[in-house]
Amino acid sequence: MKGGRVWFERARKGASFEKLLEPGRIGQVRTRNRIIKSGAGMLMWHEDDLHMREEVLAYYERIAKGGAGLLIVEAATVDYPWGARYRNRYRIDDDKYIGGFSELVGVIHKYGCPTFLALNHDGPWQVKWGREKNPLYPGPPVAASPVYLENPNDHHNERPRALTIPEIEGIVDKFAKAAQRAAKAGFDGVDINAGSSHLFHNFLSPFWNRREDAYGGSLENRSRLLVQVIRETKRLLGADFPVSVIINGIEVGRAVGIDDNKCLTHPESLAIARLLDEAGADAIQVRNHWIGWHVGGFLPDVLFYPEPPIPVDAFPKEYDASRKGAGANIPLAAGIRKVVSIPVTVVGRMDPELGERALQQGWADFVAMTRRLHADPELPNKLAAGRVEDIAPCTACDFCLGGRGRCRINGLSGTPYVSIEKAERKKRVLVIGGGPAGMEAARVSALRGHDVFLTEKLHKLGGLLPLAAMVKGDHPEDLPSMVSYLERQLLTLGVKVRLGKAVDVSEVERMKPDVVFVATGGSPGVIQICGSDRSNVKSGGELHRQLKFCLRFLDPHLLRRLSKIYMPIGKRVAIVGGAIQGCELAEFLTKRGRRVTIVDKAEVTGEGLVMTMKEYLFTWFEKKGVAIIGGVREYVEVNEKGLAIVDREGRRRTIEADTVIFALPLAPDTALAEALRGKVPEVYVVGDCREPGLIVDAVGAALLAARTV
């Protein structure tokens, strides 16, 4: 029992959420409970927007309606363009943006939910980092000092320019004026991001801040900028206007060979917290930061993917690594809570059970989360109603962050729709296929009040998800929890399910449904080359059949463990296909002692991987000696030596391999759907059989189709 299933199983056994559901207070603001939606960014805007987009309003409305105690709207830019790196962030550097934010506040307040606006300055982050084809400005970035770090997983790969004192004073004014605009828009407070590796932390940390003036040197000097922002905000808006602050409880340098004592230590973070308390801050949220592993600081579970950057027993003692990132910041928050008089919030892969424990033990006053509320905005209300089994689990795919707000289990996210409405007329709905698209189509159809029957030819629901779970493992993603959740929903909603029997056109005609959803999955991708029928070749279709058979009898995680003992795969493996399928297979095989080479005709490999996961995985590939050959002109043949190719330079070469595996994206398979056209009033094709893609694509398409039936 791993990942998101652990807290759920404990909750089923009678766990109480009394403290988590108890109202709280930050300054003069009363929260509905102790669950805070943190200010993590979905990046659903554009810098030119003056009004809220429908999908943004719907996203925040769902969370407010779902019962969050306090909703922090993701970080707005206070200093454009110097303080921004993305064009899909909202701005608060001018009065013209007040109206748009006012629209958003109105939607949130409609449900009695208080809301803060997160304020941010990216400061030292590199300007030219490849994700933004047209950078907001040519650079250089601005920082406390011209210190940078060349590292593929960090955001400090360009030498910044040190800010002048007049510029620093101007930033104080910009933050205070931004807070004033937030108040005019109706926000109940602001949340200043001084965590991660943004501008404020750049000043707080002795590693980054090498100044010798009033803003550098001593801890008081390094804290001066942040303290001045708090005081100026309070001066403009009054002592009763809440200001919460995010700080790092520790900065770790040892993973890239930097002495932790030269970084922001935990004792220093305690002293900074006291200074912020004295300056008038109303609450402190606690994160951590790892130099060289930027995202692993604010998404601590990602730090352990594919493996932790250093052995776990070499982690700082103040960092809780016992749950692979979940609750990692609890000891840091507990330490800060002991030295301040204001509420302390803990964040970082928290779940309700872990959050309740942190509150009960006095380690924190509030629990912040975004991804779990993204997966199920109704989580707080469901906890309060005792409907724990109905909570949709976050599988930690991290597609939501930077993925335009989309979610693999919450298909509504990223759309302009707030809920699933009842249909005007009840229909007989047949769903063919029990993968994620089919299960979601059945779930949504049942929610709309239809009579739903789902048939799946395999003996278990989930489609390719159990197979994917075997390859991916239980961390950081937890796919079995998604299958279990959808199975429970189908049972609760009265969907009739038949397993182990295929369906054909004649049977569909006998059933006489009003609507058919065809969700039978795609066909394995195939490349015809000389020697592809050799015994040392494994096709995607062959692997799927073998593993599906094993998964009839074994749990995915048990099968994964057994694969460490035996696999009919040689020691040297060539994988044809460099998209997500091939890359995740390469990780799986490498962890089982295989020497892997990935080849692909595409110049850029890793398609389908979440950007951060790709960066971490490819760094690990380099460390483990996984070779990646992109831009292949031709796959020539498979022979007794391995795979012969023509590379991007036009040279013929042989990739020595004992086994050649074709790990290609699926191909569409609409044959059944086409055969049903004209025989059923409504036919919808969803999932991989229509357009092969990711789980998020399958679930999203199924929901959008089913909500119209």
Pairing of strands 682-685, 515-518: parallel
Check residues 25 and 86 and name the one with the higher pLDDT: 25
Give whole-number Cα distances, 509 to 430, 506, 515, 681, in Å. Answer: 11, 5, 11, 11
The residues, ordered by sequence, that sit 6+ positions from 160 with a Cβ below 8 Å of its Cβ are: 123, 124, 140, 141, 142, 143, 145, 146, 147, 148
Lookup result for tokens 């900028």: 225
Q: Which two three-digit tokens encode residue 584?
A: 């995740």
Q: Is the pTM above the cut of 0.75?
A: yes
What's the confidence (pLDDT) of residue 6? 52
3-state secondary structure of 81: coil
pLDDT score of 135 more than 90: no
High-pLDDT (> 90) share of the chain, %: 88
Fold observed for domain 428-523+684-706: Rossmann fold (3.40.50)
CATH number of the domain located at residue range(s) 537-662 in this protein:
3.50.50.60
Chain length of the chain:
709
The residues, ordered by sequence, that sit 6+ positions from 322 with a Cβ below 8 Å of its Cβ are: none
Fold observed for domain 4-390: TIM Barrel (3.20.20)
Which candidate, 10, 62, 256, places its Cα nearest to that of 153? 256
Give whole-number Cα distances, 134 to 86, 127, 137, 161, in Å. Answer: 10, 10, 8, 21
Give whole-number Cα distances, 226 to 199, 280, 337, 441, in Å. Answer: 10, 11, 19, 50
Question: Domain residue spans in the chain?
Answer: 4-390, 428-523+684-706, 537-662
pLDDT score of 1 more than 50: no
The residues, ordered by sequence, that sit 6+ positions from 283 with a Cβ below 8 Å of its Cβ are: 26, 27, 242, 244, 245, 342, 343, 344, 345, 365, 366
Q: Could you report the per-residue pLDDT of 195-217, keeping only the tens digit for each?
A: 999 999 999 999 999 999 999 99
Write the burial class of residue 708 (CB in 10 Å: 0-12 exposed, 13-18 middle, 19+ buried). Answer: exposed
Q: Could you report the per-residue pLDDT of 592-612, keeping only the tens digit for each?
A: 999 999 999 999 999 999 988
What does the pLDDT average to over 157-172?
A: 97
What does the pLDDT average to over 544-557?
A: 91
Local structure of residue 96 (DSSP, 8 states):
G
Q: Could you report the per-residue pLDDT of 389-405, keeping only the tens digit for each?
A: 999 999 999 888 766 78
pLDDT score of 681 more than 70: yes
pLDDT, the chain, mean: 95
Q: Which two three-digit tokens encode residue 386?
A: 């005792």
Phi first, then psi: give them for residue 231, nearest 5 degrees.
-65, -40
Instruction: Give the CA angle between residues 468, 489, 686 to the nearest 5°.
Output: 55
pLDDT score of 636 more than 90: yes
Instruction: Give the CA angle between residues 693, 599, 632 to the nearest 5°.
Output: 100
Which candidate, 375, 385, 333, 377, places its Cα nearest to that of 354? 333
